[in-house]
């Protein structure tokens, strides 16, 4: 029989399925015939490298952690559907930007093959769990406590407690961590080796998030914790302190592979560079000539130097000696690098630093609202786009532009799976317009309903997704108009975006499938219309590693229509016959551009007899290109 794939089958999923699969691939000799991992064999293999297996270690734990791991390992429970009408529009048809509607964990899993290790930067602004931001953990997965106990490897009483809080709309720390863990876990798989993630958060969960990220990304890959000073004026109604700041945690996929882009110098940075002495080397600033080491610590840096104007010998203080050795100081004197003040009577010199030699500025960990915007300016920004305020507490575009500038190069992909009002997409487009870049965005937003009393609902935005989409469209038009007013031709592809959404799997599609034979009654694929077949095809091509912005070509094999892309040929429809098979073999032999290496067959539309006929025909026929064809029957 041909190879079968049940890609939506979660029956064998456990909390460590993916990890075990990696171990089996690399250390098959560490498993017994029943698939059980034998730890002492692993110890023998890697023990000489210093592996120390210990039952005690420093880690974060919470009620639901095993359940969160299980969720991270599950296959998606949805399909991916394309908005063909929107995507066919002129501004969108060639765009590589994406807006995806759906639960972000489901979307991340759909992206995990096609975009594996492809994302340079992730920015997210997740729920802060303030108690008033509406976050609750809600889960529609249906496990019995016995099933959860078996799959997660936990005791029955713990399984029962987990099921209780996952169905109770909890907003505890445990609930928040259970929500965040699988999303960060899958997101990490999407990052390039030189990728980075920026996460906005406030005081409510910053401690928990730091420990969670240490576990997911590795403590050694922690880059920094930024502070965004977000308020212009204090919140005078605060009971204790006005909360004037938020945090942005930064983790690299591999800290050895990523570093932030330095800040380009501006007129503001250079305003202190003058040339009062008409130095032929141009404008200069000056820096202190002492350091914070004492004479006892650095006796070689404690010496006398001559002020050329007063002829006096000057010594540093006992607690702050010169910053340079005597030999280096003599080079400074020789090269006229010392500044003794306007009248030459300063008690210590300063060293000239020339603007021509000035380097880009190392990023700093405090971002002030005067530089990147405040909560107030963010509200004004969104009002300028919508002429109303449909979204509460958006991030200012300046925060995102700065993060994206520091985290990416001009052709990278930026992912935001808590898209909200769409600030990340707006910032990507604005930065591309500013520097001519070709960055791409992928944004994800669940269609959460807006409050019927809100400005958003009254303005016609029934869901947050509607706001996200509208913000991107309106910002895109505004940026393009600005470029055109400056007589610049915008790159249309940078300002369009394609839309996809998650959609439920067809009724009956996941019913248990027994061994196929001609008498087996299966899901009736005849109930699927062409749009649903296309949805399945969209989902599968992402599963097979094709980008969502790539297209499939229609291939006519006689009167049968197949779909081809990335060396994969899809047979989705009924009606494949001997004429179609002959046309396929002829095309394989004679079309130089046609080189499929994998055939994917929608099993519900091919009974076992036709599957075997196709398999045997391929097996017994040697095509002229000597291509090895892998045939997969998929359900």
Alpha-helix residue ranges (DSSP H) falling in 116-235: 145-152, 156-166, 173-190, 206-213
What pLDDT, on a 0 to 100 scale, did the predictor assign at position 515? 47
What pLDDT, on a 0 to 100 scale, did the predictor assign at position 350? 94
DSSP 3-state of 246: strand
What is the average pLDDT score of the chain? 88
What pLDDT, on a 0 to 100 scale, did the predictor assign at position 289? 96
Q: Which residues neighbour 316 within 8 Å (Cβ) at sequence distance 6 or greater?
A: 290, 295, 301, 302, 322, 348
More confident residue, 27 or 249: 249
The H or E element that residue 537 is part of is helix 530-543
The H or E element that residue 630 is part of is strand 630-634
Q: What is the mean pLDDT of residues 471-480?
A: 95
pLDDT class for 41, splitting at 50, 70, 90? low
Alpha carbon 153 to its chain centroid, in Å, reads 30
Angle between helices 104-111 and 173-190 (to 10 degrees): 20
Asked if residue 634 has pLDDT above 50, the reply is yes
* Tokens 């029989």 belong to residue: 1
pLDDT class for 310, splitting at 50, 70, 90? very high
Q: Which domains does the chain have, with CATH numbers?
A: 3-49 (no CATH), 95-136+181-257+363-503 (3.40.50.150), 267-357 (no CATH), 525-634 (no CATH)
Q: Which residues neighbour 619 within 8 Å (Cβ) at sequence distance 6 or greater?
A: none
pLDDT class for 518, splitting at 50, 70, 90? very low
Around Cβ 464, how many Cβ atoms within 10 Å?
Answer: 22
The Cα 527–Cα 533 span in angstroms is 10
The Cα 491–Cα 434 span in angstroms is 12
What are the pLDDT digits (tens) for 579-612?
898 899 889 888 888 999 899 999 888 877 777 7
More confident residue, 625 or 300: 300
More confident residue, 262 or 249: 249
Share of the chain above pLDDT 90, in %: 60
| Sign of the Cα pseudo-torsion (99, 103, 105, 109, in order) | negative
Strands 78-82 and 553-557: unpaired
Asked if residue 261 has pLDDT above 70, the reply is yes
CB 306 within 8 A of CB 312: yes
Query: C-alpha distances in angstroms, 546 versus 112, 399, 550, 597?
Result: 11, 32, 7, 14
| Maximum alpha-carbon separation in the chain | 108
For residue 303, list its beta bridge partners: none
Asked if residue 49 has pLDDT above 60, the reply is no
Question: Percent helix, strand, coil in the chain (nearest 5)?
Answer: 35, 20, 45
The Cα 446–Cα 100 span in angstroms is 8
What pLDDT, on a 0 to 100 scale, did the predictor assign at position 55? 56
Alpha carbon 512 to its chain centroid, in Å, reads 35
What pLDDT, on a 0 to 100 scale, did the predictor assign at position 552? 93
What pLDDT, on a 0 to 100 scale, did the predictor assign at position 516? 45
Around Cβ 585, how many Cβ atoms within 10 Å?
Answer: 16
DSSP tag of 347: S
**Sequential DSSP letters for 28-83:** GGGB-TT--B-HHHHHHHHGGGT----S-------TTHHHHHHHHHSPPSEEEEE-
What pLDDT, on a 0 to 100 scale, did the predictor assign at position 557? 93
Q: Which residues neighbour 243 within 8 Å (Cβ) at sequence distance 6 or greater?
A: 202, 203, 231, 235
| 531, two tokens | 């749009």
What are the pLDDT digits (tens) for 207-251?
999 999 999 999 999 999 999 999 998 888 888 988 999 999 999
pTM of the model: 0.86
Which burial class, exposed, middle or buried, applies to 371 when counting CB atoms under 10 A from its CB (0-12, 13-18, 19+)?
middle
Asked if residue 178 has pLDDT above 70, the reply is yes
* Tokens 């010594």 belong to residue: 315
Half-sphere exposure of 269 (CA within 13 A, CB side): 12
| 300, two tokens | 């070689």
What pLDDT, on a 0 to 100 scale, did the predictor assign at position 510? 65
CA angle 50, 51, 53 (to 5 degrees): 140
What are the pLDDT digits (tens) for 417-459?
999 999 999 999 999 999 999 999 999 999 999 999 999 999 9
Least confident among 209-213, 250-254, 519-523, 611-615: 519-523
The Cα 538–Cα 551 span in angstroms is 10
CB 106 within 8 A of CB 114: no
Q: Which of 500, 491, 601, 603 is nearest to 547 (CA)?
A: 500
**What are the contacts of 549-552 at 24+ separation with CB within 8 A?**
549/95, 549/96, 549/98, 549/498
């Amino acid at each position: 029989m041909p190879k079968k794939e049940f890609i939506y089958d979660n029956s064998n999923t456990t909390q460590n399925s993916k990890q075990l699969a990696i171990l089996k691939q690399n250390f098959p000799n560490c498993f017994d015939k029943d698939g059980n991992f034998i730890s002492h064999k692993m110890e023998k293999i890697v023990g000489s490298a210093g592996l120390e297996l210990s039952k005690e270690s420093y880690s974060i734990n919470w009620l639901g952690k095993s359940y969160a791991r299980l969720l991270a390992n599950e296959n998606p429970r949805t399909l991916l559907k394309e908005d063909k009408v929107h995507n066919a529009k002129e501004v969108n048809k060639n765009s590589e930007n994406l807006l995806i509607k759906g639960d972000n964990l489901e979307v991340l899993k759909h992206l995990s093959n096609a975009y594996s290790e492809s994302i340079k930067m992730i920015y997210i602004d997740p729920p802060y769990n303030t108690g008033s931001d509406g976050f609750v953990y809600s889960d529609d997965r249906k496990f019995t406590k016995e099933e959860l106990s078996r799959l997660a490897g936990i005791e029955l009483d713990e399984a029962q407690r987990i099921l209780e809080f996952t169905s109770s709309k909890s907003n505890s720390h445990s609930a928040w961590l259970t929500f965040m863990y699988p999303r960060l876990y899958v997101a990490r798989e999407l990052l390039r080796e030189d990728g980075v993630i920026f996460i906005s958060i406030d005081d409510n969960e910053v401690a928990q998030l730091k420990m969670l990220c240490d576990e997911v990304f590795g403590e050694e890959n922690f880059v920094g914790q930024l502070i965004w000073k977000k308020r212009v004026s204090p919140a005078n109604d605060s009971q204790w302190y006005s909360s004037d700041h938020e945090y942005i945690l930064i983790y690299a996929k591999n800290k050895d592979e990523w570093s932030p882009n330095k800040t380009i110098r501006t007129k503001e940075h250079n305003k202190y560079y003058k040339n009062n002495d008409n130095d032929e080397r141009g404008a200069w600033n000056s820096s202190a000539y002492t350091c914070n080491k004492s004479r006892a610590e650095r006796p070689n840096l404690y010496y006398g130097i001559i002020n050329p104007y007063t002829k006096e010998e000057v010594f540093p203080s006992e607690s702050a000696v010169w910053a340079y050795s005597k030999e280096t100081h003599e080079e400074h004197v020789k090269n006229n690098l010392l500044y003794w003040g306007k009248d030459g009577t300063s008690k210590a010199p300063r060293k000239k630093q020339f603007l021509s030699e000035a380097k880009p500025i190392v990023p700093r960990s405090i971002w002030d609202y005067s530089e990147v915007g405040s909560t107030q300016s963010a509200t004004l920004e969104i009002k300028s786009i919508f002429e109303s305020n449909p979204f509460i507490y958006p991030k200012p575009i300046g925060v995102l532009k700065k993060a994206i500038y520091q985290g990416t190069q001009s052709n990278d992909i930026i992912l935001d799976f808590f898209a909200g009002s769409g600030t990340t997409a707006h910032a990507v487009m604005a930065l591309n317009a500013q520097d001519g870049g070709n960055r791409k965005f992928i944004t994800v937003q669940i269609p959460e309903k807006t409050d019927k009393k809100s400005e958003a609902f009254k303005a016609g935005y029934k869901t947050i997704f509607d706001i996200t989409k509208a913000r991107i469209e309106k910002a895109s038009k505004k940026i393009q108009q600005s470029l055109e007013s400056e007589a610049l031709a915008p790159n249309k592809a940078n300002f369009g975006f394609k839309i996809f959404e998650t959609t439920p799997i067809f009724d009956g599609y996941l019913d248990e499938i027994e061994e196929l034979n001609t008498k087996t009654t299966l899901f009736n694929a005849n109930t699927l219309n062409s749009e649903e077949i296309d949805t399945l095809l969209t989902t599968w091509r992402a599963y097979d590693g094709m980008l969502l912005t790539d297209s499939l070509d229609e291939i006519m094999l006689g009167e049968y229509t197949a779909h081809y892309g990335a060396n994969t040929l899809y047979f989705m429809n009924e009606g494949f016959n001997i004429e179609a098979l002959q046309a396929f073999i002829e095309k394989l032999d004679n079309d130089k551009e046609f080189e499929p290496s994998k055939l994917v067959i929608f099993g519900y539309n091919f009974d076992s007899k036709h599957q075997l006929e196709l398999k045997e025909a391929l097996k017994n026929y040697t095509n002229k290109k000597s291509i090895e064809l892998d045939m997969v029957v998929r359900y």
